[in-house]
Structure 1
């Protein structure tokens, strides 16, 4: 028997509320260093099963535990390496057939890579099974990662709970383990639970043990099926549950004073599970689904198998208080997490380089599945403006990363969970679905999931399954799936297709679309082309299978399309392709005229596409703003939420760039003139007949009208707020609450701000709290904004850490708060890191501020700050430098394009066009109506 020296690094976090005391006898740590630069575990051994025991203590905020790991050795080795982080290890024993191979009270840790290295003088032999027992202690931290503590209040009583968040590299913070997705194993969890608490985990438990003399009970959960460590979960709380009427165990859990608001989650959840079972042809594999609303939760939600965890705003819907947007978000988040039961849990990415295999599928299917339950929401149309248009902006930067890209360190892995992975992943899969047809795509996905159930995959596994199905169904794409689709996953960015009509012929070319017009890229793609001519509209837009392909090697490609000289043609039916389209000037003229003449003949998604493409092509210098803005002129006739969402999103950039310019008034007048008809139609009064899309549209239109200074809108909102302030029984409709609060605070004073802050402190409803927090940043009072920002880094203010960053964004999103937020950032970035969630949060704050800077002096100030604090900023410094470059580009854009935009706006005013320079006189809302509304 050999005895070897081990060591561990103890990482203790300072606790703002309580100083946590670790049990006596912890090890003295000495460092070891892994021999190479890889953060990946060696493949010499892997786990078969775990038995995990944990005992949390809510007085010291610590936990003790031990883990028994049955491992198999794949090749002869003198070391077995696994992960451990933030634990004090008191003993390690390794046995083989009940014979002790080694036993030690010391541990060897590479603290940077979180490696726990178990060494033996005699080799661990290939093909042999060993059992590793490790006893340890840890801290229930407040950072919302690993095994952490949370709390809520009933009356004046603080009630504690402990929850987990392991994705992507935090299971190692709860117990030593092989913390990589490829190392699947079975888990048997036992939680020693304090009096008056109960425990939940991935699997059910027959019953808790009888309490011991101190009232503690053991919850021994059934062993799981094969799963990755990041999907393990457990919660110790006094939550109450709400069960659905599903024929299987489907429950929601929340604090006792909120559980009744889980009813919508229980209504929509079972039909979503049924959708996934029917779509995939595979039944749900675990015996239960518990959904838990955790008061402090850094992510939006987490797909732990059998125990899905959420922010309260992701699971709870408060009828009469939550907005229609909240309801939509709740449905989509639940659908997203349930999709992961198949896409991620049953079939799991091999490594985080391929995070889009999990998240891209979940993002697409959250819309596809919910669309079958909430059939009137037009979710597949909303997908385009919610997801594809949003990610187009990030993916148009030269610094954009491809879907499949290398990740090694925990920080690099964390960075994979961004817009590119989710929204681009979902968008390119949507494109592939239309290329192959929805039917073949579904059968190919079924083939992929069935073949690889319980295993790990790489993108080639998906491509192969879809290709086999394509061949079987005789779908002619001219190329194998991996051939035309792989470039969309391994290359950053996306193309813009240039369509040119000349002498009755139509030719197309492609180039990478970049927002900076002085940047070049040689990247090309296989681009599926669809189009509709005016004579084919509106039916032609329904055809989304490729009519032709544009190849990466093509020079201008002539298309065989017969078209009359005065007929418009629009490419990319329903914007199913992940690309933009530009046209020659005559084609743009015909499209603009067509929108004016009969916009309803053009699919609403394609109207959204035309608006988004035109304004972003102009932003990138690829189209004159006079042409792009001419496309928007028809909007005062359009009463559809989808194209208006695209227009207002694109207008947001112009609004920010022109905010501090004298010409901003001309811009505001033009947008208000376009909004006139929909404003009059929608008004402030909600109707019983309003569907979800109408409710969302009203909020959007009223928000812009009030923000751009329409006095009628401002007066109505302020009056509604004053009625509410005088008597909170005068309810403001939930959907209008944020708009009313923000408008009132922008135009009123300190009394109104203090009133709303008191409402925040009194509220126990998370969605209401979030609404108020976003509105409190709307004031023009600089002193109040300073105080508000200070509250975000004060642990005693009542603002939860998960919401602190939203305070900062609410202030810098206010044009009058940019300078205040910038000063706060410069003076408090360390406190921001501590309270917002680390240097990633600081990086996000810098990026957010940078997008609001409008002068050279401000940008130079930001650059000076980053350079002066580069070492202290750490990982945020690089993000800061990228943000500075983006801010410089924005300022350069303003100097280059501003005059052209303002000239066009003033020419429209001077031309006497009926859609511009209109004095909006709203007579629809009468005095009698206002009195009725406000009382």
Structure 2
């Protein structure tokens, strides 16, 4: 970088800070974009290196309204704020320009300005683009950036010969996040141009775009500059064509202190020292990226360290805080990454396309992880694992999240969706194959069998609401950043993964993989839509002579273009099979029309007393299948739950299945034992079967020792507990649950001994041990509560040396804090603040929400408003955890209502977290009074808005109405069943 260019960066930064000291920059809105006065004289020549710029040398931005189309008014005139029609009023970019390459140079300041107290970054960018259709305007995304005048305008435009292209006016459109250049003459078709900008932005702690993360190590506070561009925040770091189909190459240069490291998507190609105002800085330049979307760009400045491996010529590094690396917390990730990369290269039959794979654990990160090409970013809990202090579940999370993000390096990064309406294709695919990649890394864990518990059952509940949405939306329906963010939900991830698992099952995995391979090769370094995948899957079907009743597209469109799923009912007396759109509210009516009238092409796997077979119910309400007729033998549908549907039977077949569970449960596959329970409880909620029949599915559990059925039971009964734990029914429910779980609780005591520091050897068995202890304690089994409190007390007395087994920490912490008082809570808080292990901090943070003391919970809620107490990334989850506590639910709801504007401003842009906040706080709502409160909350906050939680609010209203009806219909009858089922 030349001395002049470097000094211009200094000038830009000091200019903004100087103006801010005098006016609006002191406010938090300082970095929101302001338009340059177009008639302002350009800046004086920039000083050379090693000189200090004077105020007279500084180019400043003057806040003015956007021009009305005429040349910009002189300083003495008042610019009109009138909006006029133009392409900048459209939320989508015009199709007249396409980017070719970007050269981006950024300089994050990791110390606050001593006067404004703001952290900032400065930068310059050159984007080369091609004109596809002659146009008088250049429209490019920009958000919260302040620009330095260049030739009196926000940007400088040149043609391919280096000649200036005359700009008549320039302005910002904050509503649609655009920088607009109006030209005196149109750009020419097929010609290339470059646009140069200089800008300053705030390096805020908002977890979006180019942002700031902080941590303390060795008593010293450290600052990290990092990125999260997906889906629409690259524009917050530099001006860009910020849509996924507008791929380009990127050349990134970062200026930083010599003691800091800079990382980006590609390897470093040049590093040099530069001097600015007698201070030595480091300038790091990275190799040119492959052609890719803006949302996959990443750059980080930090004082982290890494461990490294070379696998098949690929450099693999795991980055983290130095202490975390020295403590061995990165070792597990480095040991599995190479295996998973190799698995996916073989699975896709396409080599990993980059020379390196960096993965970095960040102290502050809004999502779980982000698949930036060659530089994957993670929450610490999703990448770091301590073999002593982290649990079995923590280890699985690292394996599955790493596999998810590495799957994206091909499916999402090499081939990218054309627009966000097909987000599910990216995320659903990664949600399916993460289980394959993690299973390859940990073959003894049988992870593929856990897909049903973690993904399928989880998403069924959301997709049974009329406020759900199809996997694929019409492109024109998804436009704004808020609409895009709403798609990052369990429908896109878990339903997407579930329907692809179903597709792979009826095609067979080899055929499915063949289709993936040709799809990736055909669209590499480009973009694709969901129909492109169906074309390649159909080619694989044809090549392998797979016998399907319809084309892949015809089958899959019924699963992707309409929301929801069917309940398949078999009448074994005559073999009649029917399908019906399953809604948890039996009186609800679908809110949107379906192109298929809510009928699906359903692959129905079934088993009687022979091998597994398949029949198809093809877009009709019912059909007769004679092979499914049975008078005396049970018939089981949806073997291993590979189909995305629920199953109902005639009462006679239900009773035959339940009798089989009571006599020889092993005759029913373990996943189907979980399915029977999960389906029955949800069918009862929707009034397809009697609630007492659903409860009868739990009678056999005294003999069940497998994880999946117990997990399905806990999930199913969690709804009962939410609805009933404030009612008189709960006492009898509590007695029955303990009656059923104590044999399992005792089984693990006998299996490994009564010492909770011992665990069974199997992966799923370890989960089930936790379930047994947690369920027994949460339903007030006195021996369980006493033991948990004693273990916690021993830890309080010897915090440095007493070890609680990591698998059971969450249970022990929660039970002891719930049974204890201020001393137990304050000790947990102290350990939370002192731990440097993120997984341990999460366990303690969750457990602190278990207190039964209202004043403690109210104090804890207040902590969520202070990032020094609870990190922003954890605030909404902490509120949800408090709301899950029967004592804390009403406190959390009052807190949300009292602080909505602040909470929305701070967290409303988040996708998953904000939706889960609304869902979590309203989950217990089941009275008319609570429904009125929720409706009033919606009315009171229309002006503030609900952001990415808008759909979640509608779902909360729908769920509350369903809950009210459910309690009215079932509460008394459930109580009668519990009384009858409790053994003396």
Q: How does 1:911-922 map to 2 (within 5 A)?
A: 916=983
Aligned to 2:110: 58
| Counterpart mapping for 1:225-624 below 5 A | 225-247=290-312, 248-259=314-325, 260-405=328-473, 406-502=477-573, 505-521=574-590, 522-533=597-608, 535-536=609-610, 540=611, 543=612, 547-552=614-619, 554-561=620-627, 564-624=630-690
1:83 to 141, 153, 170: 141
Contact conserved, 1:89 with 1:106, CA < 8 A, in 2?
A: no
Q: 2:973 aligns with which of 900, 903, 927?
A: 900
SS at the partner of 1:364? Answer: helix
Unaligned runs of 5+ in 1: 1-7, 910-915, 918-935
> Contact conserved, 1:361 with 1:429, CA < 8 A, in 2?
yes
User: Given that residues 829 and 842 in structure 1 are in contact (C-alpha distance below 8 angstroms), is that contact kept between their aligned partners in structure 2?
Assistant: no
Q: What is the Cα deviation at residue 18 of structure 1?
A: 12
Would you say the 8 A contact 1:78–1:124 is kept in 2?
Answer: yes
Q: 1:178 and 1:704, CA in 2 relative to 1: closer, same or farther beyond 3 A?
A: same
Task: Note the alpha carbon deviations across 1:488-527, whole angstroms, 9 max, x for none.
Answer: 111000000011122xx21101011000011245410000
Instruction: Report the CA distance shift for 1:673/1:408 in structure 2 as closer, same or farther (over 3 A).
Output: same
Q: How does 1:26-65 map to 2 (within 5 A)?
A: 26-31=61-66, 35=86, 38-59=90-111, 60=113, 61-65=119-123
SS for the counterpart of 1:94 is strand
In structure 2, the residue corresponding to 1:124 is in which secondary structure? coil
Contact (CA 8 Å) 1:843, 1:879: kept in 2 or not? yes
The separation in 2 between residues aligned to 1:672 and 1:137, in whole angstroms, is 61
CA separation in 2, counterparts of 1:110 and 1:463? 39
Tell me the SS of whatever aligns to 1:199: strand
Further displaced range: 386-395 or 722-731: 722-731
Is the counterpart of residue 692 in structure 1 residue 763 in structure 2? yes
- Cα separation, 2, equivalents of 1:908 and 1:261: 48
- The aligned counterpart of 1:162 is 225
Q: CA RMSD in A?
A: 2.3
Indicate how the Cα distance of structure 1 residues 124 and 16 shifts in structure 2: closer, same or farther if over 3 A, else same: closer
Specify which of 259, 262, 269 is matched with residue 206 of structure 1: 269
How far apart, CA to CA, are the structure 2 residues paired with 1:881 and 1:278?
43
Q: 1:27, 1:89 within 8 Å by CA — same for their partners in 2?
A: no
- Cα displacement (A) at 1:481: 0.5
**Kept after mapping to 2: 8 A contact 1:20/1:62:** no
1:758 equivalent to 2:830? Answer yes
* Distance change >3 Å, CA 773–CA 16, structure 1 → 2: farther
Q: Which stretch of structure 1 is more off in the superposition, 626-635 or 351-360?
A: 626-635
What is the CA–CA distance in structure 1 between the aligned matches of 2:891 and 2:658, rounded to whole Å? Answer: 42
Give the conservation status (yes or no) of the 8 Å contact 1:833–1:839.
Answer: no
Shift of 1:865: 3.1
2:38 corresponding residue in structure 1: none
Size of the alignment, in residue pairs? 891
- Offset of 1:638 from its aligned partner? 1.0
Aligned partner of 1:859 in structure 2 is 931
Partner of 2:3: none
Which residue does the alignment assign to 2:706? 640
Q: Distance in 2 between matches of 1:567 and 1:738?
A: 44
Determine if contact 1:15/1:141 at 8 Å carries over to the other structure.
no
2:249·2:288 contact (CA, 8 Å) conserved in 1? yes
Deviations 1:764-822 (A, max 9, x none): 2111111111000101100000100001102332x111011122111101001111111
Is the 1:367–1:383 Cα contact (8 Å) retained in structure 2? Answer: yes
Q: Distance in 2 between matches of 1:836 and 1:520?
A: 32
For the Cα contact (< 8 Å) 1:746–1:779, is it kept in 2? Answer: yes
In structure 2, the residue corresponding to 1:700 is in which secondary structure? helix
Q: Which residue is 2:77 aligned to?
A: none
Q: What residue number does 1:3 align with?
A: none
- 2: distance between equivalents of 1:329 and 1:385? 14
Give 2:190's match in structure 1, choosing from 127, 146, 152: 127
Residue pair 1:89, 1:105 contacting (<8 A) in 2 also: no
Alpha-carbon separation, structure 1, partners of 2:951 and 2:763: 41
Mapping 1:766-785, distance limit 5 Å: 766-785=838-857
Query: Given that residues 291 and 309 in structure 1 are in contact (C-alpha distance below 8 angstroms), is that contact kept between their aligned partners in structure 2?
Result: yes
Distance 1:642 1:12, change over 3 A: farther
Match 1:102 to one of 141, 144, 165: 165
